[in-house]
Chains A and B, each alone.
Chain A
Amino acid sequence: MENTVEIEHLTVSFASKRRTSLFRKGARVKALDDVSLTIKPRETFGLTGETGSGKSTLAKVLVGLYKPTSGTVKFLGRTVDFKKKGDVSYLRENVGLVMQDPVRSLNPRLTVNEIISEALVASRTFPKKKYDERIAFISHLVGVTPDLLPRNPRELSGGQRQRVSLARALVVPKKLLVLDEPTSALDVSIQAQVLNTLKKLKSELDMSYLFITHDINVIKYVSHRLGVLFYGRLVESGDVHEIATEPKHPYTRKLISNVLTLKRTQLQETAISEHRPAPTGCRYRLVCESAFDRCSEVPDMADLGSAHLVSCFLYGGKPSS
């Protein structure tokens, strides 16, 4: 079966606002740098990384909000040309998005019913007669009870709002759902309920998830495969069991070893406070404990077998061109 998403050598760069002169544009900053990944049908791909690592940039490329500077995005076998309006709407028809902030991502002046049906109107393909039936079906599935439909978003709790976001994203059937930190703004017991719903949904609707979060406990629990971003570069990707039990890249090792559970652990003593990315070569080398002279070049993704990829010279990475 063909992959839902194939991203190859994706780079997204922005002009920095910090100008050195009034007459010169700011330097280009790469939010994503040479990222390649695939998402298979019915798979949950977890993407993690710290603030500013480019997680959300990738999410926005997949719904056509940002255009790639270079590289290709293939969706269900079709290469998306971001300059063509038709291709971007093709992407939006098939990809749903749930954002982190359930307050700001819902129109405060519409009722829940209007918010959800807006997505149906926008799709243009859905017969009007079937709106109510579809809304009832999807609301039931994501746990939006009928009494919420006539209300305004501000009357809802955080968990309810996030369920409305889910219903809006899925009311037109999608092949991929991009979840950008969908539970980080929620209370823990509400997060658990939403995670349960998300897992149940995926088995009922035939689709893939791109699940973005900084919470390793959550990402382990929901994903089949995992990708780790560090300042725009994918440093490791592969099966979630493998990465969680045997992380390879020094950065992934650090992330995994800092995961807290309910058991008291010796808190890690890290010598360096902030992760500054290196301007050239391997971005992690300034803070990496194992850095050596080769790291002044950029390592490519070396395959350690069973599609476990690591971008590090310690594991046979070669300088990428």
Chain B
Amino acid sequence: MAAVASGETRPRTLQEAQGDARGALLSVSNLSIDFVSVEGRVRILYDVSMHASEGEIVGIVGESGSGKTTLGLAILGLLDSPPTDIVSGSVVFEGKDLLRLGSDEMAKIRGTGINMVFQEPLDSLNPVYRVESQIAESIEVQGRRRFSNSANAADRDSKKIMTDLLRDLCIDKPDEVLEQYPHELSGGMRQRVAISMSIIERPKLLIVDEPTTGLDAYVQNRILGMLSDLRKAGGTLLYVTHDLTVASQVCDRLYIMYAGRIMESGETQSVLEDSLHPYTRTLIASVPQGYEDSPPLPIQLGEPPNPRKLPDGCKFHPRCPYVKDVCMKEAPRLVEVVPGRYAACWKVAGEDGKYSRD
């Protein structure tokens, strides 16, 4: 892959390259969010820009504390303020800046515009209602919005919609499941019920937060296959996960996050096969490969930083095998290193604008 610019031209920053994002269904620009408590302010998202076009599956990959879930919640307007404080930035969805909408207008977008599947299905399902009444509630909300002018009588037959959908999600006996309470279902079932509640409203953008964590491999793959199919129906997906192997299966593009920042982004294939950022390489090296007699996994000791005690300069430098003096002093900006590929690293986008790759 050739570098986009030689020494003379300055690399475009992500903001300058927002032309890519124009016309995107969702575009987040320079979003910074603080968490305010008695102990002071802590920045949990730092100048995050990303976009998702229609029909695209975009992966947000990072470990715990990287800010990936906060980003999802911010897009959906679900962050309470206080304690969170949106310092700057915009979240533009279909031409509207969601951060400037009133709560009534935002409520209209939630559900049919943007919807979210949360990480822990037991927490997002109501324990005292049967599955049927919970899914029915979603249909009712959608019905009020979408079918008020529609004469499609068949669509109003909610029971049929529900059983069909659950069968699509590979539940053999949907009628039985509809009669059950969330605690009677297995983890995989619950997650599928939660997914069905979100997709039944046919949102334009679906945010899924770790939907397959803790599930058995074949159930996970089934859910992944089903989520990929949503794209064929024109849906756009924001896939939030810590698991690079999962993201590599379904996502078209990836954003790699660390300590509230985007470290690298680009098309999935090229991010995985030709990673620019050392953190991305750490994530890739962490996937166990080989057998008992294989060498140790090539990874340095270290943990993600405490957001209250972030290191100076690049936030990854204490764990980085390529650390230089400049990395400890100044944080690198996210710049376009090769067309469509962004990285925030002094090593790949040098101080003088020259690129050095190994």
> Chain A 218-233 against B: per-residue CB contact (8 Å), 1 yes, 0 no?
1011111000000000
Min CB–CB distance B33 → chain A (angstroms): 21
Taking CB atoms and an 8 Å cut-off, the chain B residues in 288-311 that contact chain A are: 288-292, 294, 296-297, 299, 301, 303-304
Q: Is the CB of B218 within 8 A of A254?
A: yes
Q: List 7 A-B contacts (CB under 8 A).
A: A199-B296, A217-B287, A267-B224, A268-B218, A271-B170, A274-B172, A274-B189
Q: Which of B231-274 contact A (CB under 8 A)?
A: 242-246, 248-249, 268-269, 272
Indicate whether A20 reaches chain B with its CB closer than 8 angstroms.
no
- The answer to whether A22 has its CB under 8 Å from any CB of chain B is no
Q: Given contacts A188-B287, A262-B287, list 14 more A-B pairs with CB under 8 A.
A: A51-B216, A187-B63, A187-B304, A192-B286, A199-B292, A217-B245, A221-B291, A240-B292, A258-B221, A260-B248, A262-B244, A267-B228, A270-B170, A274-B186
Asked if A21 is at the interface of the complex by the 8 Å CB criterion, the answer is no
A189 interface hit (Cβ, 8 Å): yes
- Nearest 3 pairs between A and B by C-beta? A221-B288, A273-B170, A192-B286
* A residues 231-281 in Cβ contact with B at 8 Å: 240-241, 244, 254-255, 258-265, 267-274
Contact indicator per residue, chain B 4-39, by CB within 8 Å of chain A (1) or not (0): 000000000000000000000000000000000000
Give the residue of B186, B243, B286, B304 whose beta carbon is less than 8 angstroms from that of A51.
B186
* Residues 186-227 of A at the B interface (beta carbon under 8 Å): 187-193, 195-196, 199-200, 214, 216-218, 220-224
Given contacts A214-B216, A264-B248, contact A273 B222 (CB under 8 A): yes
In this assembly, does A56 line the interface, its C-beta being within 8 Å of a C-beta of chain B? no
Check if A44 is an interface residue, CB within 8 A of chain B: yes
Residue B107 lies at the interface, judged by CB distance under 8 Å to chain A = no
**Separation of A221 and B225 alpha carbons in the complex (Å):** 26
Check: A159 CB closer than 8 A to any chain B CB. yes
Q: Which of A51, A240, A244, A263 contacts B248 (CB 8 A)?
A: A263
Bound: A262/B268 CA distance, A: 10
Q: How far is the CA of A162 from the CA of B292 in the complex (A)?
A: 21
User: Is B249 a contact of A267 with CB atoms below 8 Å?
Assistant: yes
Are A274's CB and B292's CB within 8 A?
no
Determine the chain B residues whose CB is within 8 A of the CB of A158 once the complex forms. Answer: 64
Chain B: interface size category: 35 or more
Name the distance in Å between A182's Cβ and chain B's nearest Cβ. Answer: 13
Chain B residues closer than 8 Å to A189, beta-carbon distance: 63, 282-283, 286, 299
Q: In the complex the two chains form, what is the Cα distance from A273 to B195 in whole Å?
A: 15
| Interface assignment of A303: CB less than 8 Å from any CB of chain B | no
Distance, CA A216 to CA B171, complexed state (A): 25
A244 CA / B225 CA spacing, docked (Å) = 23
With A222-B292, A255-B218, A258-B218 in contact, do A192 and B299 touch (Cβ < 8 Å)? yes
B297 pairs with A196, CB closer than 8 A: yes
B287 x A261 contact (CB < 8 A): yes
Question: How many Å from the CB of B259 to the closest CB on chain A?
Answer: 13
Chain A residues in contact with chain B, CB under 8 A?
44, 50-51, 143, 157-160, 184, 187-193, 195-196, 199-200, 214, 216-218, 220-224, 240-241, 244, 254-255, 258-265, 267-274
Give the residue name and chain of the B residue nearest to A244 (CB): B291
Bound complex: CA of A188 vs CA of B245, how far in Å? Answer: 11
Other-chain residue from A195, A214, A223 in contact with B217 (beta carbon distance below 8 A): A214
The minimal Cβ–Cβ distance linking B12 to chain A, given in whole angstroms, is 28
* Residue in contact with B63 in the complex, picked from A188, A214, A270, CB distance below 8 Å: A188
Task: Give min CB distance, B125 to chain A, whole Å.
Answer: 18
Q: Is B182 an interface residue (CB 8 A)?
A: no
Whose C-beta in chain B lies nearest to the C-beta of A263? B248
CB-CB < 8 A to A199: which residues of B?
A: 292, 296
Question: Contact at A261–B290, with CB atoms within 8 Å?
Answer: no
Taking CB atoms, residues of chain A closer than 8 Å to B287 are 188, 192, 217, 261-262
A184 cross-chain contacts in B, Cβ below 8 A: 214
For residue B223, give the distance in angstroms from its CB to the closest CB of chain A.
Answer: 9
A258 touches B288 (CB 8 A): no
- With most chain A CB atoms within 10 A of its CB, the pick from B187, B282, B283, B287 is B287
In contact, B216 and A260 (Cβ under 8 angstroms): no
Quick one: closest A residue to B290, CB to CB?
A: A221
* B3 touches A (CB below 8 Å): no
Closest CB-CB distance, A300 to chain B, in whole Å? 26
Min CB distance B228 to A, Å, is 7
B109 in contact (CB, < 8 A): no
Q: Specify which chain B residues have a CB less than 8 angstroms from the CB of A200 in the assembled complex.
A: 296
- What residues of chain A lie closer than 8 Å to B67, measured between beta carbons? none
**A-contact 0/1 string along B192-233, CB 8 Å cutoff:** 100000000000000000000010111111101100100000
Q: How far is the CA of A159 from the CA of B292 in the complex (A)?
A: 22
Q: What residues on A are CB-neighbors of B63 within 8 Å?
A: 187-190
A261 touching B288, Cβ below 8 Å: no
* Closest B residue, CB atoms, query A261: B245
A188 with B172: CB separation less than 8 A = no
Chain B residues with Cβ below 8 Å from A223 are 292
Inter-subunit contact B225/A188 (CB<8 Å): no
Please pick, from B170, B284, B297, B301, the residue contacting A262 in the complex, using a CB distance under 8 A: B284
| Shortest Cβ distance from residue A5 to the other chain B in the assembled complex, whole angstroms | 18
Given contacts A187-B64, A193-B301, A196-B297, contact A221 B221 (CB under 8 A): no
Shortest C-beta distance, A240 to chain B (Å), equals 6
Whether a CB of chain A sits under 8 angstroms from the CB of B111 is no
What CA separation (Å) do A25 and B336 show in the bound complex? 68
Contact B303 A190 (CB under 8 A): yes
Interface: B285 (CB within 8 A): yes
Contact indicator A258/B217 (Cβ below 8 Å): yes
- How distant is the Cα of A187 from the Cα of B192 in the complex, in angstroms? 24
Cβ contact within 8 Å between A224 and B297: no
